[in-house]
Amino acid sequence: MNSRFLKGVSHGIPIALGYLSVSFGFGITAAASGLSALEASVISASNLTSAGQAAGVGIIAAGGTLLEMALVQLTINIRYALMGLSLSQKLDKRFTAPHRLIASYGITDEIFAVCSAQDKPLTPAYMYGMILIAMLGWVTGTFLGASAGELLPESVSSALGIVLYGMFLAIIVPPSRKNKSVLCVVTAAALLSIVFRYALSFISAGFAVMICAIAAAALGAWLFPIKDEEAEE
């Protein structure tokens, strides 16, 4: 078997193990929203986006529209396009257009971080190995979580469902403690979410997520602009 593929698999094993535990929480959430283990697994296999999937399941449970779903996913997942543009500078010459399209399926935050840290150009085989093992971990965890959610008592399922939100907190808390701009954006998004939850509850959850994300990001860009190199000079 291709040595670069095996290297990608070895680098992706820690990601897969992390995904296994986190996606278990998503599976619990999906089951609580009325989705079967198979349906939840198909969602995980076709998306690979924890925040997008969590928001999507909420929209499905609330009976949201396809337009709402599309706009929310675009808002949450637009960062992956930027990651793809960044990685394009590190790709091997063997990365033809079809390879780029296939690899774009598996660009997640963790895979992007590992690929960005590589010294040598990224080959299709290396990325395929990493994406494959990471995807298997994510889908397996989702299936196990959703299956458990169908069998366990509601109280236990609710308790286990907090795993996914714990991951979100683990992502935002460390940078918020180090960077006041991140803290400002996170706080603004949280406050706006509370307003939508209790004062503007007539607005659907999907549009509320989208508005909160865009408004908080715009506030952060306005209060803490990043000057380009020419401006600094």
Do 212 and 99 share a domain, yes or no?
no
Rounded Cα gap, residues 131 and 12, in angstroms: 7
Q: Enter the pTM of the model.
A: 0.73
- Find which of 54-58, 85-89, 127-131, 207-211 is predicted with most confidence, using mean pLDDT: 127-131
Do 160 and 183 share a domain, yes or no?
no
Which one has a higher pLDDT value, 132 or 52? Answer: 132
Rounded Cα gap, residues 153 and 161, in angstroms: 12
Do 157 and 184 share a domain, yes or no?
no
φ, ψ dihedrals at 96, nearest 5° = -75, 175
Do 38 and 146 share a domain, yes or no?
yes
Residue 224 has pLDDT above 60, yes or no: yes
Judge whether 172 lies within some domain: no
Q: Which of 156, 147, 158, 87 shows the shortest CA–CA distance to 117?
A: 87
Query: 224 is in which domain, residue-wise?
Result: 179-233
Alpha-carbon Rg of the chain, whole angstroms?
19
Which one has a higher pLDDT value, 39 or 207? Answer: 39
Judge whether 119 lies within some domain: yes
Q: Report how many domains make up the chain.
A: 2
Judge whether 70 lies within some domain: yes
The pLDDT score that the predictor gives to residue 41 is 93
Rounded Cα gap, residues 220 and 186, in angstroms: 9
Judge whether 171 lies within some domain: no
Instruction: Tell me the pLDDT of the chain averaged across its residues.
Output: 83
Which one has a higher pLDDT value, 171 or 209? Answer: 209
Do 91 and 148 share a domain, yes or no?
yes
Q: Which of 81, 80, 85, 87 shows the shortest CA–CA distance to 122?
A: 87
Do 156 and 109 share a domain, yes or no?
yes
Do 134 and 69 share a domain, yes or no?
yes
Do 133 and 206 share a domain, yes or no?
no
Boundary of a domain, candidates 139, 164, 189:
164
Boundary of a domain, candidates 164, 196, 214:
164
Rounded Cα gap, residues 103 and 74, in angstroms: 19
Do 146 and 233 share a domain, yes or no?
no
Do 127 and 36 share a domain, yes or no?
yes
Dihedral sign from CA coordinates of 1, 103, 21, 13: positive
Residue 1 has pLDDT above 60, yes or no: no
Boundary of a domain, candidates 164, 187, 221:
164
The pLDDT score that the predictor gives to residue 143 is 94
Q: Which amino acid is at 47?
A: N
The pLDDT score that the predictor gives to residue 225 is 80
Judge whether 111 lies within some domain: yes
The pLDDT score that the predictor gives to residue 128 is 94
Three-class SS of residue 122? strand
The pLDDT score that the predictor gives to residue 66 is 86
Do 145 and 187 share a domain, yes or no?
no
Do 132 and 207 share a domain, yes or no?
no
